[in-house]
Structure 1
Amino acid sequence: MKKFRLHFLFLFAVFGLLSCSEDIEELEESTQLNQPVVESKAASPNGVMMQAFYWDVPAGGTWWNTIKGKVPAWSNAGINAIWLPPASKAQNGGYSMGYDPFDYFDFGQYNQMGSTQTRFGSKSELTSLITKAHQNNINVYADIVLNHNSGGALEYNNFAGSNTYTDYAPASGMFYRSQYDFHPNDYHHNDSGKFGGFADLCHHKGYVQDQLYRNSNSVAKYYKNVMKFDGWRFDYVKGFEPWVIQEWNRNAGGFSVGELWDGNAATLENWVNQSGSSAFDFACYYRMKDAFQGNNLSLLNGDMLLKRNPGKAVTFVANHDTDEIFNNKLLAYAYILTHEGYPTMFYSDYESWLDKNKLNNLIWIHNNLAGGTTSYLHADNDEYVARRNGYNNNGIIVYLNISNSYKERWVQTNWGSRRIKDYTGNSNWEPVTQGNGWVKIQVPPNSYTVWSVK
Structure 2
Amino acid sequence: MNKPYYLLSLLAAAFITSCSSNDEMMAETMNRPEVHDKTVNVTHHDGRPFSTGASAYSNSKFVAGPGGSVLMQGFYWDVPDGGNWWNTVKGKLTDWSNAGIGAVWLPPASKAQNGAYSMGYDPTDYYDFGNYNQNGSVETRFGSRAELEALITKAHAENMQVYADIVINHNSGGQSEYNPYAGSNTWTNFSGVASGKFPRNYNDFYKNAYGTNDEGAFGGFPDLCHANPYVQDWLWGRDDSVGKYYRNTMKFDGWRFDYVKGFGAWVVNNWNSNVGGFSVGELWDSNVNTLESWANNANSSVFDFAAYYKMDEAFDNGNLNLLNDDMMWKRNPYKAVTFVSNHDTDVIGKKMLAYAYILTHEGYPTVFYRDYEEWLNKERLNNLIWIHNNKATGTTSILYTDNDEYVARRNGYNGNPGVVVYINNSSSWQERWVQTNWTSQQIKDFTGSSGWYPTTQNDKWVKIQCAPNSYSVWSLNQ
What is the TM-score of this pair, normalised by structure 2? 0.88
- Other-structure match for 1:423: 446
- Other-structure match for 1:254: 277
Task: Tell me by how many angstroms 1:46 deviates.
Answer: 2.4
Tell whether the 8 Å contact from 1:91 to 1:113 is kept in structure 2 after alignment: yes
Match of 1:352 among 374, 393, 399: 374
What CA distance in whole angstroms lies between the structure 1 residues aligned with 2:95 and 2:416? 30
Number of aligned pairs? 424
What CA distance in whole angstroms lies between the structure 2 residues aligned with 1:286 and 1:323? 11
Tell whether the 8 Å contact from 2:442 to 2:453 is kept in structure 1 after alignment: yes
Q: Deviations over 1:375-420 (max 9, x none)?
A: 0111111000000001225100000001011100000000000000
Change (3 A) 1:33 1:353: farther
- Alignment partner of 2:156: what SS? helix
2:91 is the alignment partner of 1:91: no
What CA distance in whole angstroms lies between the structure 2 residues aligned with 1:176 and 1:142? 21
Structure 2 portions without partners, runs of 5+: 1-32, 50-66
What CA distance in whole angstroms lies between the structure 1 residues aligned with 2:356 and 2:72? 16
What CA distance in whole angstroms lies between the structure 1 residues aligned with 2:39 and 2:396? 9
What is the TM-score of this pair, normalised by structure 1? 0.92
What CA distance in whole angstroms lies between the structure 2 residues aligned with 1:293 and 1:82? 28
- Other-structure match for 2:19: none
Task: Tell me by how many angstroms 1:38 deviates.
Answer: 2.7
Task: Tell me by how many angstroms 1:266 deviates.
Answer: 1.1
Task: Tell me by how many angstroms 1:31 deviates.
Answer: 7.1
Task: Tell me by how many angstroms 1:436 deviates.
Answer: 1.2
- Other-structure match for 1:211: 234
What CA distance in whole angstroms lies between the structure 1 residues aligned with 2:208 and 2:337? 36
- Alignment partner of 1:64: what SS? helix
Match of 2:172 among 150, 154, 157: 150
Tell whether the 8 Å contact from 1:31 to 1:410 is kept in structure 2 after alignment: no
Aligned partner letter, 2:152:
I
What CA distance in whole angstroms lies between the structure 1 residues aligned with 2:355 and 2:417? 21
- Other-structure match for 2:207: 184
Q: Deviations over 1:228-284 (max 9, x none)?
A: 000000000000000000000011100000000000111100111101000000000
Over aligned residue pairs, what C-alpha RMSD do you find? Answer: 1.0
Task: Tell me by how many angstroms 1:33 deviates.
Answer: 3.7
Tell whether the 8 Å contact from 1:99 to 1:145 is kept in structure 2 after alignment: yes
What CA distance in whole angstroms lies between the structure 1 residues aligned with 2:100 and 2:167? 28
Tell whether the 8 Å contact from 1:410 to 1:440 is kept in structure 2 after alignment: yes
Task: Tell me by how many angstroms 1:296 deviates.
Answer: 1.0
- Other-structure match for 2:347: 324
- Alignment partner of 2:194: what SS? coil
Aligned pairs for 1:282-301 within 5 A: 282-301=305-324
Aligned partner letter, 1:281:
D
Percent identity over paired residues: 66
What CA distance in whole angstroms lies between the structure 1 residues aligned with 2:362 and 2:267? 27
Tell whether the 8 Å contact from 1:33 to 1:411 is kept in structure 2 after alignment: no
What CA distance in whole angstroms lies between the structure 2 residues aligned with 1:191 and 1:385? 44
What CA distance in whole angstroms lies between the structure 2 residues aligned with 1:400 and 1:442? 10
Structure 1 portions without partners, runs of 5+: 1-29
Tell whether the 8 Å contact from 1:41 to 1:308 is kept in structure 2 after alignment: no
Match of 1:370 among 360, 373, 392: 392
Aligned partner letter, 1:205:
N
Task: Tell me by how many angstroms 1:206 deviates.
Answer: 0.4
2:446 is the alignment partner of 1:443: no
- Other-structure match for 2:134: 112
Match of 2:426 among 398, 403, 412: 403
Q: Deviations over 1:416-446 (max 9, x none)?
A: 0000000001100000000111000000111
- Other-structure match for 1:55: 77
Q: Deviations over 1:195-223 (max 9, x none)?
A: 11000000010000000000001000000
What CA distance in whole angstroms lies between the structure 2 residues aligned with 1:216 and 1:439? 59
- Other-structure match for 1:127: 149
